[in-house]
Chain A
Amino acid sequence: MESDASEVLDLARLQFALTAGGHFLFVALTLGLVTVVACLQTKATFGGGELDARLVRFWGQLYVVNYAVGIVTGIVMEFQFGLSWSGLTHHAGNVLGATLAVETIVAFFVESTFLGLWIFGWNRMGRWAHLAAIWIVTLTAYASAYWILVSNGFLNNPVGHRVEDGRVVLADPAAVLTNPSALLAFGHVLAGALLTAGFFMAAVSAYHLFRRTPEWVFFGRSLRVGVFLAFPAAVVTAVLGGLQMASIAVLQPVKSAVFRHDTAELARLQAELTARFGPGDYIPSEAWTRGGALVMLIAFALMLYLTLAGFVLAFFRNAVFRFRVWHVALIAAVPLPYLAMIGGWVFREAGRQPWVVYGLLRTEDAVSDLSPAAMRFSLVVFTTLFAALVVLNAWLLGRHARRGPGDVALGRDERADADTDPRDGPPVGPADALPAPRY
């Protein structure tokens, strides 16, 4: 039944890659956009005008749509470990399980509860409490990303443990929490998320300015926020990416050699690892590892030029409102941060193969003992659902972005439309006609 085992392994890997990658697409925008929304709301609360309040609601609505679809993909992620990779919980559960547990309870639990308060408590809570809610959501979202990268950092660079009876035991918690593989990745992903949000804001704004919609003041401001955010975020992402490359050369020499296409070094490492761990193929797929890194670097180079030019252009009022070529470039650039994110992630994870926990546990030894039929069934179920969710999310984000700030349900005063539900009647009137939000 050798072929069955290898089929299950391939299917389980494909399923994990698709669910984690699908989830990551949502997270990238969520994490960046929530920061922007929290900052916008801070300005609106500290004596901002009507425009500030409308900015919070419009960008907040896009954030909530993206978050809601992202959260359901995250739920599937959490259960993937136990479902398909019970070998991982069996061998490394003492470290990996604990970090996942802390993520769910200390970070995600708080984030979800406060997000519910923020969305539904818009006209019920005091404005300071409401502002505190979005900041708690933002900070716990960061905490969540940190704990997930501590878990992932342990897979890439297992530290702070010892092995007893073939199982990992926690030895030095501080080392696990300050793992360079986790900290550098955390900063890199966070800056990448802000970059994604900056590109997204700039593109939506550029669309409205290009179409010359009536909301030019609104989107002029938004475009500037997006562009001024994207440039520093790109620089920080690049710096932390460079530091990670240097760290990989030490911690994961095989990944580094595959990236540099250094065949002599690879032959030497293969011989060294064979001597240490027994016969086997210790070189990850060059197509995925090197390919992922190149996609990331090319997308990144394009973004860097675009954000640098944008950073200068955004200082000129005429360029912001009339430079239509720039508007088109910004709209076309929306996929770039996503390509870079996915490329970098493929590089990180494909490059660690054949290990699931680097140097400790092979991927083939971590997969659950399941039949190929069961694995195929769940792959079809989850892939169909995720593909549908990605398409729906893109369609809804596009729809709400195109409609602009005149038709935003988030933060609408429920008391105003309790009697006349606009859904049953003709198209919704501008939300601005309703009582002004309490900022």
Chain B
Amino acid sequence: MPSVETLAVALLGFYATGYFVLAGADIGTGMVAPYLGRTDRERRLVIASFAPFLLGNEVWLVATAGVFVGCFPVLEGELLTGQFAVVVPLLAGWVVRDAGLWLRGRVTGRAGRGWRAGCDGAVVCGSWTVALAWGWLLAGVLGGTPGRVATGAVAVVTSVAVAALFAAHGLGFAAARLTGPPYERARRLVGRTRAGGSFALTAVLMAAVPVAAGTALPLAGAAADGATLGLLVPALLVVTPLLVAVQAGTWWVFRHRVTGPSYL
């Protein structure tokens, strides 16, 4: 029987992995959206590839932050405060990207051309900011200085590498979800792998990122008090399979390749 602290670490890892694999796909697709979609209509199709999953994907990070603050409150505060200069752009990028996605389709007709171009810009810039900020944050955590922002060449290389992984993950997702010219463009970069093959590969790499970060964080001994964990961890363990089932249901409902625009 694993200890309750071990289970808390496992929950944290599970939600963080879910975020990187699932939301990593829509962030990556947002990064390469100008390459995949050359016209207003094509870009709308690109967004439709992940639109139904957008809310369900990003909530994995909200849940990760929840498990983090619930099970490791002191470490959460130290990490976020220590990485303040990285987390602020990360959140700002997230806000800008989401606002662009949600508001893009809300101004229709000819008058909205400029509006939609502006929202596309927000989505692309926001997605790149989020991906690069994740790389920067990971450089600090993996470099053994979670309480201090990483600097120098290591920070730059890690940021670019992680951002490239996000983009590749997004391309694989787009190749598995899209049709028409955007699909052809994704296919050209992904290569002649079996449908979903590239996505599966990048998914494994994306899953490795939070696991590596977790092993570098001083999680052991940082858990909340036993009275809190004794209630919180079992409750989360009971709810988690239900949440996974509901999300699996969403993916099943929208499993077909997109051929037309959606609400966004």
The interface of chain A, by Cβ under 8 A from chain B, is 64-65, 68-69, 71-73, 75-76, 78-79, 81-90, 93-98, 100-106, 108-110, 112-117, 119-122, 124-125, 164, 167, 169-171, 173, 368-370, 374, 377-378, 381-382, 385, 389, 392, 396, 399-400, 407, 409-410, 412, 414-415, 417-419, 421-424, 426-428
Contacts and interface: CB of A to CB of B under 8 A. Distances in A.
A104 B106 contact: no
12 contacts: A69-B102, A75-B94, A86-B78, A93-B76, A94-B73, A104-B66, A105-B236, A113-B56, A113-B59, A171-B227, A382-B92, A418-B260
Contact of A101 (B66, B225, B260): B66
B205 interface: no
B70 to A, nearest CB: 3
Contacts of B228: 94-95, 97-98, 169-170
Q: Is the interface of B mostly helix, strand, loop or mixed?
A: helix
Given A78-B62, A415-B260, A102 B80 contact: no
Given A75-B98, A97-B69, 6 more contacts: A89-B77, A98-B232, A101-B236, A116-B250, A381-B89, A414-B262
B66 A103 contact: yes
Contact of A78 (B65, B103, B243): B65
Given A72-B98, A120-B263, A173-B231, A108 B62 contact: yes
A115 B246 CA distance: 12
A396 B107 CA distance: 8
Contacts of B249: 117
Contacts, number: 248
A116 B55 contact: yes
Interface in B41-83: 41, 44, 51-56, 58-59, 62-63, 65-67, 69-71, 73-74, 76-81
A101 B11 CA distance: 12
Contacts of B108: 407, 409, 422-423, 427-428
Contacts of A415: 260
Q: Kindly list the 7 A-B residue pairs having the minimum CB-CB distance in the complex, ordered from nearest.
A: A93-B73, A101-B70, A104-B66, A86-B77, A418-B260, A82-B80, A68-B102
Nearest to A68: B102
A173 B240 CA distance: 21
A72 B99 contact: yes
A201 B110 CA distance: 29
A86 B250 CA distance: 36
Contacts of A109: 59, 62-63, 243
Interface size of B as a range:
35 or more
B215 interface: no
B254 interface: yes
Nearest to B247: A113
Contacts of A385: 92, 95-96
A124 B54 CA distance: 18
Contacts of B73: 89-90, 93-94, 96-97
Contacts of A381: 88-89, 92
B63 A423 contact: no
A72 B100 CA distance: 11
Contacts of A110: 243, 246
A385 B63 CA distance: 23
Contacts of B195: none
A65 B59 CA distance: 18
B144 interface: no
A229 B44 CA distance: 38
A87 B81 CA distance: 10
A106 B40 CA distance: 38
A17 to B, nearest CB: 17
Contact of A120 (B65, B67, B89, B262): B262
Contacts of B40: 423-424
Given A72-B99, A110-B243, A423 B67 contact: no
